[in-house]
Amino acid sequence: MERRSDQPVILASRQELSPSCFALELLCPGPLTATPGQFIMLGPTAGADPLLRRPFSVAGVGESPRGVLVQLLVKEVGKFTSLLRRLPIGSELSLLGPLGQGFRLLEAPPRPVLVAGGIGLPPVLFAARELSQRGIPFDLFYGAASSHELLLPQEVKRATNGLAVFCTDDGSFGEQGLVTEVLRRLWQKSYSRILACGPTPMLYAVAQLARERQVEAELSLEEPMACGVGVCLGCVVRLHDGSYVPSCQAGPVFLASQLAERW
């Protein structure tokens, strides 16, 4: 398994992607590997505001002469994400990771289909890159509210070795409608597994579709987290047997068949 560590990292680059979202690259002096679906906890190195680090999915990991570069895609929603948007390049942050269980790519059956909604893109993009590299064919569906909120469409297309379908709720780009509705419409019999990340209502719809088509879905869930390492029990999700498990450890990627219908 990838070894987790706590290390100071440097904010190496930032790119605006949409009115609310931006991409970051973090330079890690120490070693860091991650698999698609794993996440990191990121926080300021100095001071106690915010008090807790925040979880972010890894969108990609690359090498540079100065160290490992971790790519994140971030949506500004509150205190820390707006700090990240303003922080000068070169600033230090503190990164704990890699954490959690990612997508089970090694056991990916012949033809997975990837589904991302909104800021659920990062782990799906990472999975797409990894599957392409391994020569496993797949299609990808990516939906956002409007064309302005569709992140990195060129990169998404480049990372996909099959069909890349874009959808917007308002029809301003690609197919019109919710990504899960478009997926239902364009469903191929060859799809044998769904890999998905996005807002909870979208994931409920994906789980429902997977049940109907009798395929397994791997869902990357987003629960509020305090520690990221399994000791606070704040991030739990409910399994179908009614028990609660920490999503930072057992997840954030779960098989839909393990989860309660409304986790």
Partner 1 sequence: MVTVVQLATQVGSLTLRNPVLAASGTFGYGLELVDFCPPEALGGVVTKGLSPRPRAGNPTPRIVETPAGMINSIGLQNIGVEAFCTQVLPALRQRGATVVVNVFGETEEEYATVVERLEREDGVAAYELNVSCPNVGKGGMEFGHDPSSLDLLVRMLRRLTRRPLWVKLSPNAPHLLAVAEAALAAGADALTLVNTFRALAIDAKKRRPAVATGFGGLSGPAIKPLALRLVWEVHRAFPQAPLVGIGGVLTGEDAVEFLLAGACAVQVGTATFRNPAACLEVVQQLQAFCQREGVEDVRELIGGLRWR
Ligand X SMILES: Cc1cc2nc3c(=O)[nH]c(=O)nc-3n(C[C@H](O)[C@H](O)[C@H](O)COP(=O)(O)OP(=O)(O)OC[C@H]3O[C@@H](n4cnc5c(N)ncnc54)[C@H](O)[C@@H]3O)c2cc1C
Ligand Y SMILES: Cc1cc2nc3c(=O)[nH]c(=O)nc-3n(C[C@H](O)[C@H](O)[C@H](O)COP(=O)(O)O)c2cc1C
Binding site residues, ligand FES, CB under 6 A:
225-228, 230-235, 246, 248
Q: Enumerate binding residues for ligand Y (CB under 6 A).
A: 232, 234
11 binds partner 1 (CB under 8 A): no
* 107/241 with CB nearer partner 1: 241
Residue type, 41: M
Binding site partner of 56, from ligand FES, partner 1, ligand X, none, Cβ cut-off 5-8 A by kind: ligand X
* 177/234 with CB nearer ligand Y: 234
Q: Kindly state the smallest distance separating residue 41's Cβ from ligand FES, in Å.
A: 8
252 binds ligand X (CB under 6 A): yes
Q: Kindly state the smallest distance separating residue 232's Cβ from partner 1, in Å.
A: 6
201 binds ligand X (CB under 6 A): no
Q: Give the integer Cα–Cα distance in Å for 160 and 150.
A: 16
62 binds partner 1 (CB under 8 A): no
* 42/125 with CB nearer ligand FES: 42
Which residues lie near ligand X (CB under 6 A)? 39, 50, 54-57, 72-75, 77-81, 119, 122, 222-225, 252
